[in-house]
Amino acid sequence: MTDTEQGPAPTAAPAAGTPRTGPAARRAAAALAGLLAAAVALGVAELAAGFIGAASSPVIAVGNAAIPLTPEPVKTFAIRTFGEDDKIALVVGTLAVLAIYALVVGMVGLRSRALGYAGIVVFGLVGFVAAVTRPAGGVLDGVPSVAGALAGTAALAALLAPLGTRPGSGVEEHAAAGGGRVPAAGTARADDRVLGRLREVLAAADRGNAAVDRRRFLVTSGVAVGVAAVAGGGGRLLQRRFAVAGERSDLALPLPSSPAAALPPGADLAERVPGLPPLFTANRDFYRVDTALVVPQLSPSEYSLTLTGMFDSPRSFGLAELFDRDDLVERDITLTCVSNEVGGTLASTARWIGVPLGAFLREAGVQPGSDQLVCRSSDGMTIGTPTRAALDVEDAMLAIGMNGEPLPVANGFPVRMLVPGLYGYVSACKWLTGIEATTYGAFDAYWTERNWAIDGPIEVFSRIDTPASLRRFPAGRQAVAGVAWAQTRGIARVEVKVDDAEFVDAELAPEVDADLWRQWVLPVDLAVGQHQLTVRATDRAGTVQTAVRTPPFPDGATGWHSIRVIAT
Ligand SMILES: Nc1nc2c(c(=O)[nH]1)N[C@H]1C(S)=C(S)[C@@H](COP(=O)(O)O)O[C@H]1N2
Ligand SMILES: [Mo]
């Protein structure tokens, strides 16, 4: 009886000197191979993106594409849970999904190389489609995904080779290998040997045992890690070439012909009330909300703002044309996000310089039939701003300066829109490259498509900043302080109540501008024990902040901010 008639041999026949590896260990190694192949793919893709632009990186492109596809409740959860770190969370999430996928691809690849490679091609395809179809994307943006998929396939092949084969793709490989070793093809003896060897391999594979070249697997893994790290790190470095920080700092901000009003003495209560945010938010502390995974980098020398649609004289403007205008204004404005929760911190204040929006739009002959301006940014965002407000709200502007500097890149460099009194999602398009005068009937902007309110007037709002919620302090006198805002109307009154007592008027900081938040402070006497502190504001139009609690969706949160503190 020959081997071949005997059926599977009781033990596998590993290559001489190679220890036997069980099926579980082989599968684990294959999963690791998948993971490492994915790392090589991503590293090479980052390297390619280093020549094309960060937004063409598949991770960034896929993450960016995922943002608009993410259901609104998930997004709200992400913003609430991760706050302004939501983007890091998204990238980590994208990588985690990819890692699980890669582990599976590795294990599938062990059974069938063809399926494994197909898995990588699918992964490359997802990156390709995401990069090419992004608003500012072109076919060139698909190159990093293609390069990554090719490198990943090669890496998977190299990493799986030392793990031996299983039935399926392995049959052909071994047949080919056997054929290669048998020069006298066609002789019965050679055929027998090839067949015998094949059966042996199949038998071993059926029991999940195979000749695993551990040494070669380790060496190949090390090479893969090195390639992934060097290519990835190098790519990220190269991507910095596209950053406009240097060009930004070379820009000289023009002087406004209409400077901001002088601040009254004692304007900033934060100078005497510790724990209160300063009247003006430093640029680095300014809140940030947008959907851009990589901050758009618009070169000032190539910048252009294009007016289209219902304008009598639609045209484009270079940055110098905007900087050189002789009607630049400087204004103090508090910007607020519709997603701000009661007590939230998605509101900040800056001294802005910009082109008066109403005058600018009238010059271009904006037509009376337009009720919506669709503001477009370089990353494809569309923000629908009411034409009426853009024309009529005093101090609405195309902002170019923020607290004495050109706009920070993350806050819309080089040009963004600002319309006081409206939440940012309908008024404050960053990285502004186009304004289309149109109608609400003709176009749904990004947030409107997601069922946020079409118009977004800011609610009268107040917040306790100090003491912090759940703080313990000695019983006795305690300063309670915070901010309140009702842009365009101004704050007339802020009241605080302790537990179930009557509301008491707080001291207000001097009014600087109706578009600016107003700080307030009230000393209260607290006996030993737990207390609840509640604040409410009234705007100059006489609207008292409502106690009715509503969530931010769809038109801004309402309700009083209330905190618990403990006097000891
Ligand atoms: N291009 C672009 N502009 C945008 C956004 C965005 O996602 N993309 N977000 C808007 C929202 S919701 C807000 S609240 C403000 C925030 O501006 P900031 O990041 O400078 O604070 O920008 C607005 N402009
Ligand atoms: Mo927002």
Structure tokens at 212: 């695993």
Q: Is the CB of 334 under 6 A from ligand 1?
A: no
> What is the full DSSP assignment across 233-296?
HHHHHHHGGG--HHHHHHPPPPPPSBPPPPPPTT--GGGTSTTSPPSS--GGGS----S-SS--
- What digits encode the pLDDT tens for the residues 511-524? 999 999 999 999 99
Write the single-letter amino acid at 527: A
Q: How far apart are CA 36 and CA 223, in angstroms?
A: 10
Q: Is the CB of 86 under 6 A from ligand 1?
A: no
Q: How far apart are CA 486 and CA 492, in angstroms?
A: 9
Q: Within 13 Å and on the Cβ side, how many CA atoms surround 3?
A: 18
Q: Edge-to-edge, what's the strand order for the sheet holding 372-377?
A: 316-318, 304-309, 432-438, 372-377, 382-386
Query: Cis omega before residue 73 (within 30°)?
Result: no
Cβ(457)–Cβ(424) below 8 Å = no
At what angle are helices 23-52 and 113-132 packed, to 10 degrees? 30
- What digits encode the pLDDT tens for the residues 403-435? 999 999 999 999 999 999 999 999 999 999 999
> Cα–chain-centroid distance for residue 428?
17
Domain boundaries, the chain: 20-167+208-240, 269-449, 461-567
Q: Find the helix or strand (DSSP H, E) in which 334 lies.
A: strand 329-336
Cβ(553)–Cβ(525) below 8 Å = no
Structure tokens at 131: 């990069």
| Dihedrals phi, psi of 412, to nearest 5 degrees | 115, 10
Write the single-letter amino acid at 246: G
Q: Is the CB of 381 under 6 A from ligand 1?
A: yes
CB-based burial, 54-69: b 16+ in 10 Å, e otherwise = bbbbbbbbbbbbebee
Q: What is the model's pLDDT at position 401?
A: 98
Q: Where are the alpha helices (DSSP H) in 112-208?
A: 113-132, 143-160, 169-181, 188-206
> DSSP class of residue 140?
G
End-to-end CA distance of the chain: 93
Residue matched to tokens 């995922």: 66
Contacts of 352 (CB under 8 A, 6+ apart): 330, 331, 332, 333, 397, 399, 401, 402, 418
| Mutate which of 281, 287, 289 for ligand 1 pocket (most atoms within 8 A of beta carbon) | 289
Q: What does CATH list as the number for 461-567?
A: 2.60.40.650
In order of 189, 288, 309, 312, 370, the CA distances from 367 in angstroms are: 91, 33, 9, 7, 6
Q: Determine the distance separating the centroid of ligand 2 and the alpha carbon of 476, expressed in angstroms.
A: 39
CB-based burial, 136-147: b 16+ in 10 Å, e otherwise = ebeeebbbbbbb
Q: Edge-to-edge, what's the strand order for the sheet holding 472-473?
A: 472-473, 561-567, 529-539, 491-498, 504-505
Structure tokens at 463: 């917040």
Taking CA atoms only, the protein residue closest to ligand 1 atom 13 is 424
Q: How far apart are CA 537 and CA 485, in angstroms?
A: 8
In order of 67, 78, 85, 340, 382, the CA distances from 552 in angstroms are: 19, 14, 19, 6, 20
Cβ(307)–Cβ(437) below 8 Å = yes
Q: Is the CB of 382 under 6 A from ligand 1?
A: no
**Considering just the CA atoms, what is the radius of gyration of the chain in Å?**
32
- Torsion angle (degrees, nearest 10) of CA 443, 447, 449, 455: -60
* pTM of the predicted structure, to 2 decimals: 0.81
Q: What is the model's pLDDT at position 201?
A: 53
* CATH superfamily to which 269-449 belongs: Oxidoreductase, molybdopterin-binding domain (3.90.420.10)
Reference 425, options 315, 286, 555, 560; nearest CA is: 555
Q: Which atom of ligand 1 is nearest to the CA of 290?
A: 7
Q: Is the CB of 411 under 6 A from ligand 1?
A: yes
> DSSP class of residue 263?
P
Q: Which atom of ligand 1 is nearest to the CA of 287?
A: 21
Taking CA atoms only, the protein residue closest to ligand 1 atom 8 is 290
Q: Determine the distance separating the centroid of ligand 2 and the alpha carbon of 426, expressed in angstroms.
A: 8
Q: Determine the distance separating the centroid of ligand 2 and the alpha carbon of 63, expressed in angstroms.
A: 20
> Cα–chain-centroid distance for residue 446?
16
Reference 120, options 133, 108, 132; nearest CA is: 108
Identify the bridge partners of residue 522 per DSSP, sorted by sequence position: 480
Q: How far apart are CA 57 and CA 61, in angstroms?
A: 6
pLDDT tens for the chain, residues 1 to 568:
333 333 333 343 444 444 557 888 899 999 999 999 999 999 999 999 999 988 899 988 888 888 877 777 777 777 767 766 777 888 888 889 999 999 999 999 999 999 999 999 999 999 999 999 887 778 899 999 999 999 999 999 999 999 976 444 343 343 334 333 334 444 456 667 766 666 665 555 445 455 788 999 999 999 999 999 999 999 999 988 888 999 999 999 999 999 999 999 999 999 999 999 999 999 999 999 998 888 999 999 999 999 999 999 999 999 999 999 999 999 999 999 999 999 999 999 999 999 999 999 999 999 999 999 999 999 889 999 999 999 999 999 999 999 999 999 999 999 999 999 999 999 999 999 999 999 999 999 999 998 999 988 999 999 999 999 999 999 999 999 999 999 999 999 999 999 999 999 999 999 999 999 999 999 999 999 999 999 999 999 999 999 999 999 999 999 999 999 999 9
Angle among Cα 114, 120, 125 to the nearest 5 degrees reads 120
Q: Which atom of ligand 1 is nearest to the CA of 288?
A: 19
